């Protein structure tokens, strides 16, 4: 508790000096928001509620964690969230209803695993036989119920003199025999299951920003009274050498013009973010870059929401390939902190 208090005081001093706002004003406002709306001091800084141009009435329309979860429960009944929490079920719905998504290759599971032809895929030997059919291909492995990029693997399958090898897409020279790869990366979680799919080749414009990761859009979409609307979108970029663009893996985000799809600026995802016009690793220009297939991406986001039963709000991850947008996954309870990039209170974004 004491550490948190010290941290809040440090944040307050920093903002006070940077924005020329008195400490008394900051502390009084935090106290009012906590007493009236139970908005804590960390949310106060995460959502930049200290901004001078933001009215107190608007600040009170932000949600704390419990208020956000309550609204999510109203929009998305908990019983139906399994459709998108389980990546195998989610992949099935997307594929059957014609929503563009990465090609499904197989499902590795210790009891119920199978490839897309119905052949069993439950152990290392069957995994080796399966890979023989995919020599030279790039494959992705996703935990069936993983989140935040945890457990994600992307590899190149190659045949050598002594058998099959798998190599990470960020360390292609490091080839690992299939048996060793299975024991190192898959065995401990095979009872949870891995969805195996083809690797998405992203559009050159996205690859130029950071090549090692498939960089994705995070799009918030809401449906009310049969009308579907995109309420916010940002671009997520990985860091050099990282396979994923998730913020908990060090990724950064870019603010976007929702109408045009142009990048405004890049920023880190900390409570006090660092802002920049170029990618901190690649040096690639960010500000002003026009994202390809923007209108198609927004239309796909709306179409995707419509196909999931009793689902009225999602945070979608969308990759942009050389031929157009592709759904990576759905999040029926996306991180509420991400909403600060949309510069609107939660109550307005979620029509409360």
In whole angstroms, give the CA distance from residue 335 to residue 346: 11
Q: Is this prediction's pTM over 0.85?
A: yes
Which pLDDT does position 302 carry in this prediction? 95
Q: Residue 352's pLDDT band (boundaries 50, 70, 90)? A: low
Q: Is residue 248 part of a domain?
A: yes
User: In this structure, are residues 235 and 256 in contact, taking their beta carbons and an 8 Å threshold?
Assistant: yes
Question: What's the pLDDT tens digit per position in 31-46?
Answer: 999 999 999 999 999 9
* Over residues 192-219, mean pLDDT: 95
Q: Is residue 82 part of a domain?
A: no
Backbone angles phi, psi at 163, to 5 degrees: 125, -160
Same domain, 173 and 206: no
Which pLDDT does position 320 carry in this prediction? 98
Q: Is residue 165 part of a domain?
A: yes
Structure tokens of 176?
């690992």
State what percent of residues in the chain have pLDDT above 70.
99
Signed CA dihedral, 97, 103, 105, 111: sign only: negative
Q: Residue 347's pLDDT band (boundaries 50, 70, 90)? A: very high
Same domain, 125 and 226: no
3-state secondary structure the chain: CHHHHHHHHHHHHHHHHHHCCCHHHHHHHHHHHHHHHCCCHHHHHHCCCCCCCCCHHHHCCCCCHHHHHHHHHHHCCHHHCHHHHCHHHHHHHHHHCCCCECCEEEEECCCCCEECCCCECCCHHHHHHHHHCCCCCEEEEEECCCCCCCCCEEEEEEEECCEEEEEECCCCCCEEEHHHHHHHHHHHHCCCCEEEEECCCECHHHHCCCCCCCCEEEEEEEEECCEEEEEEEEEEECCCCCCCCCHHHCCEEEEECCCCCEEEEEECCCCCCCEECECCCCCCECCCCECCCHHHHHHHHHHHHHCCCCCCEEEEEEEEECCEEEEEEEECCCCHHHHHHHCCCHHHHCCC
Domain total of the chain: 3
Q: Residue 82's pLDDT band (boundaries 50, 70, 90)? A: confident
Same domain, 142 and 210: no
Which pLDDT does position 270 carry in this prediction? 85
* Over residues 146-152, mean pLDDT: 76
Q: Is residue 75 part of a domain?
A: no
Same domain, 234 and 128: no
Same domain, 174 and 233: no
- What is the average pLDDT score of the chain? 92
The residue segments making up the domain with residue 43 are: 2-62
In whole angstroms, give the CA distance from residue 23 to residue 2: 19
Work out the angle between the directed axes of helices 2-19 and 23-37 (0-180°, nearest 10).
Answer: 130
Asked if the model's pLDDT at residue 156 lies above 90, the reply is yes
Q: What is the largest CA-CA distance in the chain?
A: 72
Which pLDDT does position 278 carry in this prediction? 95
* Over residues 59-83, mean pLDDT: 92
Q: Residue 100's pLDDT band (boundaries 50, 70, 90)? A: very high
Which pLDDT does position 226 carry in this prediction? 80
Which pLDDT does position 114 carry in this prediction? 96
> Which of residues 159, 182, 198 is at a domain's end?
198
Asked if the model's pLDDT at residue 112 lies above 70, the reply is yes
Which pLDDT does position 327 carry in this prediction? 97
Q: Is residue 85 part of a domain?
A: no
Same domain, 188 and 220: no
Q: Is residue 99 part of a domain?
A: no
Asked if the model's pLDDT at residue 23 lies above 70, the reply is yes
Residue 351 neighbours by CB under 8 Å, 6+ apart: 222, 224
Q: Is residue 78 part of a domain?
A: no
Q: Is residue 90 part of a domain?
A: no
Asked if the model's pLDDT at residue 63 lies above 80, the reply is yes
* Over residues 185-200, mean pLDDT: 94
Q: Residue 248's pLDDT band (boundaries 50, 70, 90)? A: confident
Which pLDDT does position 243 carry in this prediction? 84
Same domain, 193 and 213: no
Question: What's the pLDDT tens digit per position in 312-330?
Answer: 999 999 999 999 999 999 9
């Amino acid at each position: 508790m004491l550490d948190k208090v010290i941290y809040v005081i440090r944040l307050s001093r920093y903002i006070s000096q940077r924005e020329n706002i008195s400490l008394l004003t900051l502390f009084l406002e935090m106290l009012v928001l906590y007493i009236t709306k139970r908005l804590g001091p960390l949310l106060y800084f995460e959502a930049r509620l200290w901004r001078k141009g933001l009215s107190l009435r608007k600040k009170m329309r932000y949600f704390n964690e419990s208020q956000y979860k309550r609204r999510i429960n109203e929009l998305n009944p908990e019983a139906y969230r399994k459709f998108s929490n389980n990546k195998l079920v989610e992949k099935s719905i997307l594929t059957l209803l014609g929503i563009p998504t990465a090609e499904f290759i197989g499902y590795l599971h210790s009891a119920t695993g199978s490839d897309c032809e119905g052949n069993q895929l439950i152990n290392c030997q069957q995994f080796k036989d399966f890979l023989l059919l995919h020599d030279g291909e790039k494959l992705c492995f996703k935990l069936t119920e993983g989140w935040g990029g945890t457990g994600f693997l992307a590899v190149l399958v190659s045949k050598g003199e002594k058998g099959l090898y798998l190599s990470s897409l960020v360390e292609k020279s490091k080839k690992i025999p299939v048996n060793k790869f299975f024991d190192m990366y898959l065995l401990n979680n095979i009872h949870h299951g891995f969805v195996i799919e083809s690797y998405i080749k992203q559009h050159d414009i996205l690859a130029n920003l950071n090549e090692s990761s498939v960089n994705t859009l995070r799009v918030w979409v809401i449906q009310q009274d049969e009308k579907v609307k995109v309420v916010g979108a940002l671009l997520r970029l990985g860091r050099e050498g990282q396979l994923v663009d998730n913020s908990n893996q060090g990724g950064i985000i870019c603010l976007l013009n929702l109408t045009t799809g142009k990048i405004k600026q890049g920023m880190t995802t900390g409570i006090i973010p660092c802002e920049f016009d170029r990618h901190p690793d690649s040096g690639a220009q960010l500000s002003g870059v026009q994202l390809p297939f923007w209108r198609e991406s927004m239309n796909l986001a709306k179409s995707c929401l419509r196909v999931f039963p009793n689902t009225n709000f999602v945070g979608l991850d969308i990759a942009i390939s050389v031929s157009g947008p592709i759904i990576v996954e759905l999040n029926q309870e996306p991180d509420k902190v991400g909403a600060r990039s949309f510069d609107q209170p939660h109550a307005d974004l979620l029509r409360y």
